[in-house]
Each structure stands twice: as structure tokens, then as C-alpha cells.
Amino acid sequence: MEPQQPQQQQQPQRGDWARVPASCVARRTHNPLRTIVEELAIQPNPDKHFIALSIGDPTTFGNLRPAPEVVKALHDSIDSGSYHGYGPSVGHLEAREAVARYSSTEKVHVEAKDVVLCSGCSSALDLSITALASPGQNILMPRPAFPLYRTLAESIGVETRSYNLLPENDWEADLNHLESQIDENTAAIVVCNPSNPCGSVFKKQHLKDMLSIAARHKLPIIADEIYEHMVFPGHEFHHLASLSEEVPILSCSGLTKRFLVPGWRMGWIIIHDRNGLFDKEIRKALLSLSQRTIGSNTLVQGAIPAILSNTPQKFFEDTIKVLQDNADLAYDILSEVKGLRPVMPQGAMYMMVGITVTLFPEFSSDLDFVERLVSEESVFCLPSQCFNYPNYMRLVLTVPKEQMEKACKRIAAFCQRHHQDYLSKRISSVSIT
């Protein structure tokens, strides 16, 4: 008798190679800023030098550079030979200790165990949102807002709800509107202070009012504080965590902006949790999530203690002076332009400028306005639809002063040409002729 052959298991048919489907996360990932910018017809006037007031990278123009002490710290880290390999997923202990010292205040004591090092502040925001919110839940974010919050949340199936910021109140949050967006599925509130794109710096009482809402609804806060201390004279930055003993907060920051090294990709999360509300699950969640990328840049980690302790105060003051001088210059010029409403910033690197579109009848939106501004004057500002807030544009304040002045004068000339008063006179002149 022939031995019985084992039956071969029938393999499921997978069809042909017509396509390889993308994952749900990939299909849900969408960056509205990139989408809008890539669809704009950006064709500068070839007869005019192109000035980009659109890029949130302070190093782009070469006038703002990291302090020599910062560069030396990285050289020393490389030369030490101690940071070429993998480190702990949350970061080397000495680097986390340095960040803890840097982030501690008279009212808030931070320890190394409260610090998670990340690959830039964007990664810190990613880990924070992913740790706190699950598919089907929602998080609250400001409007206008840095669009990455939406990109990160919606990619994992988390809804974003916007609460309004008020330009007439220096972009403070509409507290009633904020509270009205909260429901039983809300997982966290995102607070960006100092603000991108608004350049606002919230007053202490306003932050306390926001914290009161969070406490009333038992909601943690994700504090985007990457522009911490980048504040103009006469204003004061307050860490959210210094104003509450009740609300648990994940504060996201890093070296990127204040130290002028965005490409070094070094950010961090500071866990502020005086009542142990994050102890059971969130601390473990952040550790687990950080293990997906096996930690941040170890060479920069090796430099962090020297960077945070050796960078002179004058370096920060000089950077702030450049930003404020440009803000003053832009505000002085643009506030005299019919149809524009600049809102004077209090810090960060940006100014929002309102556009009364009805006074420019050739344009249907801020997108049209920006496209024509580029084609005629070779000045590129981001349309505020990138930040879910139409009829404004965002100016970056990090350019050299002479370029800032030239750009603002070009904007003024452009507005004068296209303002309805000028157009009416031109039409009347043609009709008479």
C-alpha cells in the first residue's frame, strides 16, 4: 500500500498584483499646510529677488546662527567617542538630568525620570498625542494652529476639534468656545504658548483660566512650549505647569527654536504630574512609544549638558532683538496699508496679518492674494488657510532686517495697486478717456 501523502493546506488566494494597499494610518495622514503650499502657483517675478517670509526655520537666511558654545558642545560630544551607539530609548541619564535642571523653576521641580528625549518637538507632540488619545476620541487644538497637531491626531483615528483664538484680544483663547468643544470623548487639550502662528504670549491669568477648564473636566493638557522664553521685553512667559498643582501636563519643547538648531532634531517631553495621575499608564506608554524609534540623536544628547549650561544669556537677547526689531518694522509699515490688519506679536517668530479681502476685489481669498503677491513682488507669506483661519497671512520675522523692510514695502505697494480705491480711480480714468 502506498503511504498516504500529507494533504497540502490550501493557501488563500490574494488576487493579482494590481495594487498593494496602503495602511489605514498612511491613508489618514494628511498635512494641510504642505497640501495647500504645494497646490499654490508659486512663480516669483524674475525681475525681483525672492524673499520667503514663509519658512519657520530661523537658520534659513544665515543671519541667525547657533552660539559658538552650542557648536563646541557638539564637537566635544563627537570627540569624546562616547555617543556613537544606541542609548536608552528615553535618553541618556546625564542628558535628561540636564534638561530637568533647565526646566525646573522655583515652583516646579523636574527630575530626570520626568524627561523623555525625542527626535525634535514634533516627535514629542507625536508621542504625547498617541499616549493620551485613542481612536474614536478627540483632542482640542487652537484655531489658528500649527497644523501638525491635526496631522498627528487624525493619522491614528483621533478627531481634532478647534477652539477659537481672538485676534482682537492678542490671540487669547475664547474660553467659552473652548469649553463648548469638550464632550465625554475628549482626551486632552493642546495649548500652544508662545504661539505659532500668532506670536502671542498668554498672560498668567489667562493660562489659569484655561487650567480651570481642564481641571473642571478632568482633562490633561499637552503644552506646546517650543518657543518658551522667546518673548519680547515687556511680556513674560509662564510654564503652564508652574500655575497648577492639579492638572497633569505633558510639556513639549526642545533645542530647535531658542538655540537655533532645528536640524539637530532634539526635543523632549516634561511630565508634570504632582498627583501621580500619569503613574499607572501614561509614563509606561511614553516609554513604550519611545522604544519604536530607539531614542533620539545620541551625539546631541552628549552635548545637551554643555549647551544648556554654557550658552550665554546675551545670545538669547540678541536673537530676541532681531525678532522684535523685525516685528516693529513690519507693524509700522503694514499698519499704514489700507486693507491690512497686522497683529503685533509678543514673542515667538511670527506675525499674523489680517487681509480685508473685500477691499481687494480681484482676489477671492487669502490664497489668491498670496499667489499674486508672489508673482508680482516675489514675496511669499503663508496663507492662513494653512492654519485653518482664512483671510490672514503669516509672516516669519527671522529674515535680515533689510530684507524685512524690502518685503514689507513690496507688500504695501502691491496692496496699493490692488486696493478698491486705486482700482476705482483707474476704471474711472479709463472711462473718461
Domains and CATH numbers, the chain: 25-54+314-432 (3.90.1150.10), 68-310 (3.40.640.10)
Three-class DSSP category at 171 = coil
Whether the per-residue pLDDT at 423 is higher than 60: the answer is: no
Specify the amino acid at residue 375. Answer: S
How far is 68 from 284, CA to CA, in rounded Å?
A: 38
- Provide mean pLDDT across the span 232-255: 97
For residues 209 and 247, give the distance between their C-alpha atoms in angstroms, rounded to a whole number: 12
pTM of the model: 0.92
Instruction: Measure the CA–CA gap between 91 and 377, rounded to whole angstroms.
Output: 47
> Looking at residues 359-373, what average pLDDT do you find?
94
pLDDT in tens, 188-199: 999 999 999 999
- The answer to whether residue 15 scores a pLDDT higher than 70 is no
Q: Contacts for 329-335 with beta carbons within 8 Å, 24 or more apart?
A: 329/401, 329/404, 329/405, 329/408, 330/395, 330/397, 330/404, 330/408, 333/405, 333/408, 333/409, 333/411, 333/412, 334/408, 334/411, 334/412
CA distance 275 to 371: 51
Q: 8-22, 74-88, 238-252 — which is least confidently predicted?
A: 8-22
In total, the chain counts a number of residues equal to: 433
Report the pLDDT value the prediction gives residue 30, as an integer from 0 to 100: 78
pLDDT mean over 31-57: 84
Extended beta strands in 154-242, E state: 159-166, 172-173, 186-192, 221-224
The whole-chain average pLDDT of the chain stands at 93
pLDDT of residue 11: 59
Distance in angstroms (rounded) separating the CA atoms of residues 378 and 371: 10
C-alpha 275/C-alpha 309 separation (Å) is 30
- Across 232-258, average pLDDT: 96
Kind of pairing, strands 186-192 and 350-355? unpaired
Residue 186 pLDDT more than 50?
yes
| Per-residue pLDDT at 215 | 98
Q: What are phi and psi of 45, to 5 degrees?
A: -70, 120
- 376's CB contacts (< 8 A; 6+ apart) are 45, 414, 417
Pairing of strands 392-396, 350-355: antiparallel
Cβ atoms < 10 Å from Cβ of 36: 18
Specify the DSSP class assigned to residue 400: -
Alpha helices in 62-174 (DSSP H): 68-80, 93-103, 120-132, 148-155
CB 93 within 8 A of CB 292: no
The predicted-structure confidence for 327-344, as pLDDT tens digits, reads as follows 999 999 999 999 999 999
Looking at residue 431, its pLDDT comes to 47
